[in-house]
Amino acid sequence: MSDLIVIGYDDKFKAEEMRTQLLKLQKEYLIDLEDAVVAVKDDSGKVKLHQTFNVTAAGALSGGFWGTLIGLIFLNPLIGLAAGAGAGALSGALTDVGINDDFMKDLAATFKNGSSLLFVLVRKSTPDKVLAEIQGSGGKVIKTSLTHEQEQKLQAALDASKTPEAG
């Protein structure tokens, strides 16, 4: 089961910076993210979600492949490609994977204008290494499904000053 973590920032860009850092850690196999979404509340109060994965595009790509394959069988690959891509895009758009969009928008709407929130679903991680990497990056833990002890360690790492690198 994945753990939900929501971190709030007073800055519009800080949540995106943190997500980029977590995606880098994922490439190093230190964390396995199921979903990572940035919600930004602009200066006019409008909330915009920035998803990591575009399920509509993925659905269109998958549907296009299967449509072409079926089209080849029935000797009309172009119609198969178009129909498959359309059906795939529709199914991708209707699929909501990861964190519920309404939950994210509702929570982000309660924050001040010009702020951002990072929503992550973590499948698994190497906590000590991840905490060392995000140390001093700031932010306030808003919601988690972590234990109280884990949540306190996360907030302490976010609040800590960055240790100088050994060189």
Q: What is the pLDDT of residues 38-61, one digit of tens each?
A: 999 999 999 999 987 554 444 555
**Residues forming beta bridges with residue 144, ordered by sequence position:** 5
74 pLDDT higher than 80: no
The pLDDT tens digits of the residues spanning 29-40 come to 999 999 999 999
d(CA 36, CA 50): 9
pLDDT of residue 51: 86
Q: Which two tokens stand for residue 57?
A: 């595009």
pLDDT of residue 95: 47
**Residues forming beta bridges with residue 3, ordered by sequence position:** 122
CB 22 within 8 A of CB 38: no
The pLDDT tens digits of the residues spanning 89-118 come to 555 544 445 788 899 999 999 999 999 999
Q: Tell me the pLDDT band of 167, cut-offs 50, 70 and 90.
A: very low
Q: Which CATH number fits domain 3-52+100-159: 2.60.40, 3.40.1520, 3.40.50, 1.20.1060?
A: 3.40.1520
DSSP 122: E
122 pLDDT higher than 50: yes
pLDDT of residue 72: 58
Listed in sequence order, the DSSP H helices in the chain are 14-27, 55-73, 77-94, 101-109, 127-134, 148-159
0.75 exceeded by the pTM?
no
CB 139 within 8 A of CB 18: yes
Mean pLDDT of the chain: 81
Q: Which residues contact 123 (CB under 8 A, 6 or more apart)?
A: 2, 32, 33, 34
153 pLDDT higher than 90: yes
DSSP 145: S
pLDDT of residue 98: 74
pLDDT of residue 154: 94
Domain ranges of the chain: 3-52+100-159, 55-94
Q: Tell me the pLDDT band of 127, cut-offs 50, 70 and 90.
A: very high
